[in-house]
A and B are shown apart, each in its own frame.
Chain A
Amino acid sequence: MDFFLQLLIQGLSIGCLYAIAALGFVMIFKSSSILNFAHGELLAIGAYIFLVISVWLNLPIYLAFIVTFVGSFFLGFVIERLFLRPMIGEALIEVIMLTVGLAAMFKGLLLFIFSGNTYVYPNFLPAGLTIKIGNITVSSVYTATFLATIIFLIVFGLFFKYSSQGIYMRSVADSQTAALSLGVNVRRVFALSWAIASLVCAMSGIVLGILNGINVHDLSKMGLKVFPVVILGGLESILGAIIGGLIIGVIETLVSGYFSTSLRDVVAYVILVIILMIKPYGLFGLVEIERV
């Protein structure tokens, strides 16, 4: 039982990670219908910026966080400006292929600078984050992941629910023409969704780096992991991304704990296939409001 609980907590925490990673992906998809194949690379870039600032430049951790978040936010902005904006009006498939190209470019660049080595962050998590309940120990990484996820979800929830800019972003996802007719700056919304997605990626990149070390190949593989998560949850649904992430995180961890670690990466795709057979639009796929 303890073993199960231990795995469950670990799984939920990994699930949080998947959830955040998927969140950025869903956001870009909702606002501009683009599937971003460079998601894993954005994640890796975030992890490496943090590495450079905290280890190579040896600056304080809080600075590393600030620089990484601000930097990734602007990176997302710049990517949209430089690569996506000129593609507005082109066929969607071409835009998606462009993100595949971006992924290759970023990965090449990261490999060129950092090669395929695995780096580690210094251990900066306070020991107080390690929680012991009975026989179960939740290590500080997992507690930190939970906390970070919860803070992120609250901040973004508030942003999208109450801020004007958040409401404009949702309006574009809902009806682009109507948003345009009211003067919503749709291009700014696209840019902002890339910026926020990139920031969220950096967040998950850092946490993954703490968990598994920083390696270009491992991190960019996470970009593929978001596919089962978002398809499970429904491409259109933020809530679906979160729950999809948690489900896949838990099942993966249970499978690798009770059966074999080698099954770990396969199981997400098995779940994916099963879900698609039962509910093709995902668990939380958008139910069209048909009333109008």
Chain B
Amino acid sequence: MEDKVALLVNNISVVYHDVIQVLKGVSLEVKKGEIVSLLGSNGAGKTTTLRAISGLLKPENGRVTEGSITFDGKQIHNEPPEVITRLGIIQVLEGRVPFKYLTVEENLRVGTATRWGKPYKEDLELVYHYFPRLKELRNRLAGYLSGGELQMLVIGRALMAHPKLLLLDEPSLGLAPFLVKEIFDIVKKINEEQGTTIVLVEQNANMALNIATYGYVMENGKIVMEGKAKDLKENPDVKEFYLGTTAKGTIKSYKDVKAYKRRKRWL
């Protein structure tokens, strides 16, 4: 079943500014058409992993120093983003970065950059089909949108690029629970209807594991756990540290508390 693998991250190490080592041997496998979730607390290296895949490490002065990344059988690590985006890998940045002084529709049009000069009207309609709210806001400056609207905008903008692999970095960050649910439902729909493969980075483990088929847990630049989404949801460690359903009063050891207390920010 080798041919079904879309993305293979093989034991990569990543260093920023030639000295700050952030990833230490991360491996991931993502099958075509699948949603894979990457969980972990602040600073675990999730965003860095996505950057390594999308090529956005380079502008941050980071580099894959060991290991390899293959997409559709091509080696892509340390390639520039212009090349990687044209293979169909689009990263949706953490913190929803809009083009503030462009209108919603102009923002969406930037998503056509990988296929400049080709028609895009149908793609606009597709995005408006998934996010009808954006159609109402099409002539509004993106800088004035609310958090939820922005999240729709940046996902829609990425869709305009016809992505084969969509890298979503914490889409739920700072959004109300009902909005998170709405956005995750749409992500799931896009995955099913467009066949888009998705890597979903999240701290909201519960939501992420609901729509993902497989999950990885990162800690300190390493993968510390992986498994089918439904197994991870049942896993006592994940339950305790990510889903907030700890059996009452069972602190295993002081070391555990110290290591994991930063994790609970999202609860």
A interface residue numbers (CB < 8 A to B): 164-165, 167-168, 170-171, 173-186, 289, 291-292
Cβ–Cβ < 8 Å partners of A185 in chain B: 82, 113
- Are B82's CB and A170's CB within 8 A? no
Q: A176-B59, A182-B158, A289-B141 are in contact. Are A165 and B116 (CB under 8 A)?
A: yes
Cβ–Cβ < 8 Å partners of B145 in chain A: 291
The residue that B116 contacts in the complex, of A164, A171, A181, A289, with Cβ under 8 A, is A164
B interface residue numbers (CB < 8 A to A): 54, 56, 59, 81-82, 85-86, 90-93, 96-102, 106-107, 109-114, 116-117, 141, 143-145, 150, 157-158, 161
Q: A167-B109, A292-B143 are in contact. Are A181 and B82 (CB under 8 A)?
A: no
Please measure, in the bound complex, the distance between the C-alpha atom of A175 and the C-alpha atom of B110, giving whole angstroms. 12
Cβ–Cβ < 8 Å partners of A176 in chain B: 59
- Are B141's CB and A181's CB within 8 A? no
The residue that A164 contacts in the complex, of B91, B97, B117, B158, with Cβ under 8 A, is B117
- Are B109's CB and A181's CB within 8 A? no
Please measure, in the bound complex, the distance between the C-alpha atom of A168 and the C-alpha atom of B92, giving whole angstroms. 17
- Are A180's CB and B143's CB within 8 A? no
- Are A174's CB and B99's CB within 8 A? yes
Q: A164-B109, A177-B56, A291-B144 are in contact. Are A182 and B114 (CB under 8 A)?
A: yes
- Interface of chain A: mostly helix, strand, loop or mixed: helix
- Are A183's CB and B101's CB within 8 A? no
The residue in chain A whose Cβ has the minimal distance to the Cβ of B51 is: A181
The residue that B92 contacts in the complex, of A164, A174, A181, with Cβ under 8 A, is A181
Cβ–Cβ < 8 Å partners of A170 in chain B: 99, 101-102, 106
The residue that A181 contacts in the complex, of B56, B86, B100, B150, with Cβ under 8 A, is B56
- Are B81's CB and A183's CB within 8 A? yes
27 A–B contacts, CB within 8 A, in A order: A164-B109, A164-B112, A165-B116, A167-B109, A168-B113, A170-B99, A174-B100, A174-B101, A175-B100, A177-B97, A178-B93, A178-B97, A178-B99, A179-B99, A180-B56, A181-B56, A181-B92, A182-B111, A182-B158, A182-B161, A183-B90, A183-B114, A289-B141, A289-B143, A291-B144, A292-B96, A292-B100
Nearest first, the 7 A-B pairs at minimum CB distance are: A183-B85, A289-B143, A183-B114, A174-B99, A178-B97, A184-B113, A171-B110
- Are B102's CB and A167's CB within 8 A? yes
Q: A167-B102, A174-B100, A185-B82 are in contact. Are A179 and B144 (CB under 8 A)?
A: no
The residue in chain A whose Cβ has the minimal distance to the Cβ of B92 is: A181
The residue that A289 contacts in the complex, of B86, B90, B106, B144, with Cβ under 8 A, is B144
Please measure, in the bound complex, the distance between the C-alpha atom of A272 and the C-alpha atom of B69, giving whole angstroms. 54
CB of B80 to closest CB in A, whole Å: 9
Please measure, in the bound complex, the distance between the C-alpha atom of A155 and the C-alpha atom of B82, giving whole angstroms. 29
